[in-house]
Amino acid sequence: MITCRWSPPLFRVNTFAERQAMLLKNLSRLLIVFLVLLLAGCVTVKVDLFEEPKPLKEKVISGYGGDKILLVDISGLIVESQPRSLFGMASVTTPGRVKEELDKAAKDKRIKALVLRINSPGGTVSASDLVHHELMAYKKETGVPVVACLMGLATSGGYYLAQAGDTIVAHPSGITGSIGVLAMKLNIKGLMDKVGVEGEMVKSGQWKDFWSPFRPANPEEKQMMQQVIDSYYQGFVDVVALGRKMDIKEVRRVADGRIYTAAQAKDLGLVDSLGYLDDAIKIAQKQAGLEEAKVVRYHRPGSYRPNIYSQFPFPDFSGAVTPQFLYLWWPGEI
């Protein structure tokens, strides 16, 4: 008698965890082989994550003639150094980039005027002051007229830079002002308490952990910080008083941190006139005594800037753990 009986197949389906472990094991083997070949000199790998900046090139934006009006872009945050990203250069304004443009312009005797196109909420105190210093040095060296054009947003450090202009033109729908200084920090002690994390500090002096994010600031620290803020604020007031030819008391009256519309700023004497970028260019051309001129700007090869309004995209901004002193308008709460 023949009996037929079904027997299950002699294999089983691996679980997800087993398949994942097998995949990791195979990847590890491939990595080991790759490293062996690399160390043996059989494989050459070039990793170029960060694109190096290329020399500036001149581009004619509009107009004609032998004489030139240089358009300098002040957009995004004003910071000391250019951040790097895996996708190229982040869009900010740095003293280094502005100085590079001004140095190139100083060598070109056909640059007869300079227009600052400012669209910035401000930035750090040091960077704003450095850019302003470079602009003033360029004016002194070349004697060319400088016209500042405030675009949609030219507040705090952005307005600080405008003081280098002989004339300030504000876009009719723009926002300016926010004359003042701020410093901030994140107090994460409450969060640390919730997750059961405690910070420990060994320091060489009483104030070495000044403004630490791991605890609330004490009254003495707040007083010390306020003294620094007041010093930077006085510097801002002095620059505005000199640039706008206003009395110190008059500047202090309007420099309480509030923002102003372009019309309000004109009424307060913070800008000379309302107008558009082409109006600012015409003013610069008139101040330079030019019947005709072409508008030029400097750019990196590979970047496309077809007209006077083309600019870099606005950057993302996030706070840092270390304290920074800012000429910056940053509305809202953390």
Give, in degrees to the nearest 5, the angle at Cα 54 between 50 and 60: 135
Average pLDDT over residues 62-75: 95
6 falls within a domain: no
Residue 319: its pLDDT value, please?
44
Give yes or no for residue 44 having a pLDDT over 50.
no
Q: 142-152: per-residue pLDDT in tens?
A: 999 999 999 99
Q: Which residues contact 139 (CB under 8 A, 6 or more apart)?
A: 146, 164
**Alpha-carbon span 178 to 264, nearest angstrom:** 13
Confidence band for 166, pLDDT divided at 50, 70 and 90: very high
**Alpha-carbon span 69 to 326, nearest angstrom:** 31
Average pLDDT over residues 32-42: 51
Structure tokens that stand for 66 in this block:
């032998």
Residue 164: its pLDDT value, please?
98
Tell me the pTM. Answer: 0.75
Choose between 287 and 41: higher pLDDT. 287
- Which sequence positions are flagged as catalytic? 156, 208
224 falls within a domain: no
157 falls within a domain: yes
Amino acid letter, residue 303: S
Q: Which residues contact 245 (CB under 8 A, 6 or more apart)?
A: none
The CATH number given to whatever domain includes residue 127 is 3.90.226.10
Dihedral sign, Cα of residue 138, residue 139, residue 145, residue 149: positive
Which helix or strand (DSSP H or E) is residue 70 part of? Answer: strand 68-75
249 falls within a domain: no
Q: Which residues contact 23 (CB under 8 A, 6 or more apart)?
A: none
Tokens 């600031």 found at: 217
Q: How many domains does the chain have?
A: 1
**Alpha-carbon span 188 to 190, nearest angstrom:** 6
102 falls within a domain: yes
- The terminus-to-terminus CA distance of the chain in angstroms comes to 85
Q: Which domain holds residue 319?
A: 62-182+256-328
Q: Which residues contact 178 (CB under 8 A, 6 or more apart)?
A: 121, 122, 155, 156, 159, 257, 258, 259, 328, 329
70 falls within a domain: yes
92 falls within a domain: yes
Q: 251 near 237, Cβ under 8 Å?
A: yes
188 falls within a domain: no
Choose between 70 and 2: higher pLDDT. 70
Structure tokens that stand for 34 in this block:
């790759």
Give yes or no for residue 53 having a pLDDT over 70.
no
Confidence band for 298, pLDDT divided at 50, 70 and 90: very high
Structure tokens that stand for 175 in this block:
């926002």
